[in-house]
Each structure stands twice: as C-alpha cells, then as structure tokens.
Amino acid sequence: MCGIVGYVGPELCADLVVDGLRRLEYRGYDSAGLAVVDAEGQLLTRRAEGKLTNLVKRLVEAPIDGRTGMGHTRWATHGAPTEDNAHPHRSGSIAVVHNGIIENHVELKAELSALGHAFQSETDTEVIAHLIDHHRTARGLALSEAVRQAVLRLHGAYSIVVIDATTPNVIVGARVASPLVLGLGQGANYLASDVAAILAHTRDMVFIEDGWMATLTPDGVDVRVVATNESPRWEKTTVTWSPAMAEKGGYKHFMLKEIHEQPRAIADTLRGRVSLERRTVDLPEIPLTREDLEQLRHFYIVGCGTAWHAGLVGRYLFEDLAGLSPHVEVASELRYRNAPMDERTLVLAISQSGETADTLAALREGKRKGARIISICNVIGASIPRECEGTLYTHAGPEIGVASTKAFTTQLAAVHLLALKFGQLLGRLDDAAMEAELTALMHVPTVIEEELSKPADYLEIARAWHEAASMLYLGRGNLYPLALEGALKLKEISYIHAEGYPAGEMKHGPIALIDERLPTVVLNPRDAHFQKVRSNLAEVKARSGPVLVVATEGDTDAADLADFTLTLPAVPEHVLPLVAAVPMQLIAYTMADFKGTDVDQPRNLAKSVTVE
C-alpha cells in the first residue's frame, strides 16, 4: 500500500507531484508528504498527518518547489499515522519515500545507531534513508551505487524513491515485491506506484521488475539489476488508459461513477473475445490446451475480498460449463496450507490490482510446486500477470474507489469466458448451449444499463436502516457469493456490520439473531432456488425481521413478504450474479452516502493490499 510519485525534469514539480498523489490516495491516506531539491540545491520537505488536503494546506502556508521531487501518501504499517512518521524520511542530504515493509529494520537500525545515526520516527522506512546516507557519506559512493548497496541489505517488500540534495536532477527508484512504474516523458521522467499518477504526463511506461533499480535524469534512464549491477532488457509499454478515466466525471464519488461504468467495462472485457457467429470464445492469451485440461488433477482459484467472491461465482460456472470443480481459496489461507499442487495443477489468481501480496504469494506457492499459473487481472503489467503464463485482462479501466465495483463485474464476465473456453476445449458444450451462453453474456451490458436507469427505493432503504448495528445478506447457489459481496460492500463503506450467508444455512445458527432490529437482504429472484429461498424469507418475516427482497421484475408476490423490494431483470441463471451485483453495490453506496462516510476512501482500508 502507500502511493509514491517522483519527478525529474525542467518544470517546478510540487503541483505535479501533489496531483499524482491525489490519484494515488486510494492506496492509503494516513499521512502525506513532499520533498524537493530547490534551485539552491537544498533538500526541503513538508509533511502532514491525515489526508492529502492537510499537506496541501501546509504547502499553501509554507510553499516549497523544485525541479526534482517526490511525494508519498501513507497507509501506516510501522508507527502510528503521525506527522513524525510521515514520509519522506531524511538522513543528511538524502530523502526516501517507501511503499512496503522492511523486515530487518530493527537489526539495521541497531547497526546504524551504533555508527552514530539518530532516528526521528518509529517507521521501518527511516533506516533506508540512513543506510543510503551512510554509503554516500562514509563510503563516498555515487547516489545510484549507494542506493544499490543499501537495497542489497534490505529484506522484505518495498518500492522506494530517493533524492539527494548533493545530486540534483537525479532520482533513483528500486523495487522488490511492491509496484513501481517508470514513466518516460519528453525531457522529464517519472516514477510512481501506479500509472494513474502520471498518466496526465506520459503513456509510455516501463514496469520495473522485482530486483531492479532505475536512475532517472531529465534526459535518460538507466535500469539495473540490483544484485549484479547489469543492465537488463526492458520494454516500453504504451498504456491506453486516458487521464480522464481516472477523474470523477461529474459523479459525487468515484464509486458511483464506477458503478455506472459497468456496462462499458463489461462490454470492453467481452469485446473481441466472443464470436456469436462461430459460437466460440477466443482467448489466445490463455495458453492451455485440451490435453492440459484433461490431465488436471487439481484446480485452485485464489483471490482476496471481492476477487475471492468472483472466484466463488466462477466455481458454479466451471462446474456447469466445463465439468471442473475448482477449490476456491482465500489467498492468505492457501499460501500457508499444504495443499496438494504439482505439475498437473492449475492455479487461477483473480486480482483487480495484480499486486495483492497474499494472492501473489499463493500463486508463487503454486509455481514453486510446479503448477500452471494463470490470472484474471485489471492492471496491465502488474506483478501477478507478470508472473503468470497467461492473463485474461478485464478492461475495467482504472478503479479508484476503494470498494470494488466494476472490477468485480468484469471479473465475473472474464471468469465466465474462461469457463466457456474450458467447456469448449473439453467438448462439454454443444452449439446450442454455447449460443445461449454467449447471447446471455453479450446482452449483459444493455441489461445493466437499463437496470441503472430505473428508479429504485435505495434512499428509502438507507433512511430506514442506516442506524442498524448489523445486517444479514442471504443468497443461494450462484447468488450466495453475491450475498457475501453485498455484506462486504456494506461493511467497508458504511461501517455497518454485515454477514453474508448461504440462505439454506440460516436455520443452523444465524436465525437466532433475527428480530425487529436486524434487517435482512434476501436475494430471491425466480431462479432454481426460488421456492427454497422464499421459505427462508418467510422464516425471517415470521420472526419480525425487516426484509429487503431482491426479486425478479414483475414478481408481485415478493412485495407481500417484504418491507422493501428491489428488482432484477429476468436473465438466464449464469448471468444473474452480474445483474445482482448492481443492487448489492447501490444498497451499500446509498447507505454510506446517507451516513456521510468517506465512500471512496473508507477508514483503515487501502485499495491495493501489498503487505501481508
């Protein structure tokens, strides 16, 4: 987590760096800071506790500027979210910003303290500044070599950016297991945690690999492998996202904008991959053959949070369409289990950011044991796709709101395509079945467009239930993961406790909770489980529980049993989760907005969880 931005070039860069941080604030917002080397060659820093707006106020009161600079927005790991612990951290002429965790910081701090270095913060990061300063001053190394020597001593996950008052017009970055992208400009170069931070200035990016470092001047970049000091082969990638895609575009929140972008995002994810005429799915990016699939002994889907929920929906699709029954695992659990994996195993990682530490570790565990590894990811060039044999990119565009919305539905579309592809390869789907599936899938963007334009009672629901201490979400079959997703969305942005449950499990425990103070959301469209779930709904009502039913359009019976009703368009069962995602998102969004919480940057969370 944490966001970092660096610039070296001909412009005064304080505004540019702060603007980049604004686009990275989703990564953490416990504190923010800026460092520049000014025209007199002085290293100047400003830092502020809390959100970026506090730093902006500080900069208005006490401006600084320079042509070499860097900034940081923090998600606290080591040390409280105070100004003293805010980055940049300094030692002598050196300033450092850092995303990640330095695992051996205690030992390094002891060593540096013995050499006379005095520490000002409780962070792990500060040791990096002192270590570089030591190599620079005590050993007289040039900046890039001092950084390289320091990085060789670090254990953990990190991306860092370094500036040095005695070496103006240079910035140095390095990465291990935390994202760092280098932007190539005209007479200026950039470093950032994420392309969104620098898209306004360049679309030409170099994704820095683990174990690499880069030294940037206004006119050039020098990329090295830290361990050998050799220049690796690196490639420029031109990113197609436009800067406008990372703006709010008139919506009150990014989350709301991203909910409304779903028809476009799903259409983009399907585009070019489906031929209705030939009744085929074409995914050349997934290099698996019929023989590969036939000899599979184990199949795991891994992810965290919302991505895990997309995997859970995927299980129903792989079972129905391809006759494969994947284990769908929370990555932080799988990575430490002794799960059977070998060369006849397939691991599919699902991740919006492609940087989630637990998902990456679970994937690596599979790779270590010889498994084939593939992914579904939204961010081109992120760590997870870079480690995989093949990646099916969701074309959701940048997702800024911390609560995942369009990334989820595009993951559902992608996992559906993959299940169809596997079914096709394994000969499990005849033409009629394929045509029905593809027609349903291709129709989803239009259906969601209509769904989003319909009036619905979200505000009434929020007014009635925003003071609830807890809520229950029930769903069955492929809507059980949607109950989990609805509950997760509500928790993370409205701070109302919520639990998602398989509707049939309610009688085994949660029913004890039901009374007039516990609202229940019941996903009860006219699907295969309709009657059973309706009975569960009656059981809630019989115990005076307030109920919101998510029913199929035109289902007039639902209203008799419910305090509130939201409707879903009548669609084939395999695409129901896609249309059911919309009310799950809008219930949470409206509830949070009604309560006045920080919808896009909810407390304690970060968009991309790059620490364990």
Just list the catalytic residues: 2, 607
Among 541, 480, 486, 531, residue whose Cα is nearest residue 505: 480
> Do 193 and 24 form a contact (C-beta atoms < 8 A)?
yes
Using the rule CB under 6 A, give the single segment among 247-255, 264-272, 302-310, 420-428 that binds ligand M6R: 302-310
Give the angle subtended at the CA of 103 by the CAs of 98 and 107, to the nearest 5°: 110
149 vs 597, which CB is nearer to ligand M6R?
A: 597
Distance of CA 193 to the CA centre of its chain: 13
Fill in the per-residue mask, 489 to 518: x = in contact with ligand M6R (CB under 6 A), - = not in contact.
Answer: ---x--------------------------
The verdict on 306 binding ligand M6R (CB under 6 A) reads: yes
Give the angle subtended at the CA of 342 by the CAs of 336 and 348, to the nearest 5°: 70
For residues 449-482, one letter each, b for 16 or more C-beta atoms within 10 angstroms of the residue's C-beta and e for the rest, the string is eebeeeebebeebbeebbebeebbbbbbbbbbbb
Type and span of the H or E element at 99: strand 94-102
202 vs 585, which CB is nearer to ligand M6R?
A: 585
CB 492 to ligand M6R: min, Å: 6
Compute the chain's Rg from CA coordinates: 25
Q: In the structure encoding, which two tokens stand for residue 165, read together?
A: 């008052």
The verdict on 375 binding ligand M6R (CB under 6 A) reads: no
123 vs 359, which CB is nearer to ligand M6R?
A: 359
Fill in the per-residue mask, 42 to 81: x = in contact with ligand M6R (CB under 6 A), - = not in contact.
Answer: ----------------------------------------
The verdict on 404 binding ligand M6R (CB under 6 A) reads: yes
Residues in region 592-611 near ligand M6R by CB under 6 A: 608-609
Strands, E, within 457-519: which ranges?
A: 470-475, 497-502
The verdict on 409 binding ligand M6R (CB under 6 A) reads: no
Residues in region 86-145 near ligand M6R by CB under 6 A: none
Q: Which residues contact 484 (CB under 8 A, 6 or more apart)?
A: 309, 312, 473, 500
- Per DSSP bridges, beta strands 3-8 and 237-238 are unpaired
365 vs 492, which CB is nearer to ligand M6R?
A: 492
CB 587 to ligand M6R: min, Å: 14
The verdict on 307 binding ligand M6R (CB under 6 A) reads: yes
338 vs 604, which CB is nearer to ligand M6R?
A: 604
CB 190 to ligand M6R: min, Å: 23
CB 609 to ligand M6R: min, Å: 5
288 vs 361, which CB is nearer to ligand M6R?
A: 361
> Do 276 and 439 form a contact (C-beta atoms < 8 A)?
yes
CB 571 to ligand M6R: min, Å: 24
Task: Tabulate helix, strand, coil % of the chain (nearest 5).
Answer: 40, 25, 35
Residue 391: φ, ψ to 5°: -135, 135
How far apart, in whole angstroms, are the C-alpha atoms of residue 72 and residue 83? 12
CB 358 to ligand M6R: min, Å: 8
> Do 551 and 568 form a contact (C-beta atoms < 8 A)?
yes
CB 490 to ligand M6R: min, Å: 11
Type and span of the H or E element at 162: strand 156-164
214 vs 392, which CB is nearer to ligand M6R?
A: 392
Fill in the per-residue mask, 328 to 367: x = in contact with ligand M6R (CB under 6 A), - = not in contact.
Answer: -----------------------xxx--x--x--------
For residues 500-536, one letter each, b for 16 or more C-beta atoms within 10 angstroms of the residue's C-beta and e for the rest, the string is bbbbbebeeebbeebeeebbbbbbbbbbebeeebbeb
85 vs 375, which CB is nearer to ligand M6R?
A: 375
DSSP bridge pairs for 564: 548
85 vs 353, which CB is nearer to ligand M6R?
A: 353
34 vs 582, which CB is nearer to ligand M6R?
A: 582
CB 360 to ligand M6R: min, Å: 9
How far apart, in whole angstroms, are the C-alpha atoms of residue 578 and residue 576? 5
CB 180 to ligand M6R: min, Å: 17
408 class by beta-carbon count within 10 Å (0-12 exposed, 13-18 middle, 19+ buried):
buried
Using the rule CB under 6 A, give the single segment among 41-49, 305-313, 426-434, 587-595 that binds ligand M6R: 305-313
How far apart, in whole angstroms, are the C-alpha atoms of residue 382 and residue 388? 11
DSSP bridge pairs for 98: 160
Among 93, 92, 48, 104, residue whose Cα is nearest residue 74: 48
Total of residues contacting ligand M6R (CB under 6 A) = 16
Residue 20: φ, ψ to 5°: -60, -40
Fill in the per-residue mask, 249 to 288: x = in contact with ligand M6R (CB under 6 A), - = not in contact.
Answer: ----------------------------------------
CB 540 to ligand M6R: min, Å: 26
Closest-approach residue to ligand M6R (CB): 305
State the residues that interact with ligand M6R by CB under 6 A. 304-307, 351-353, 356, 359, 402-404, 488, 492, 608-609
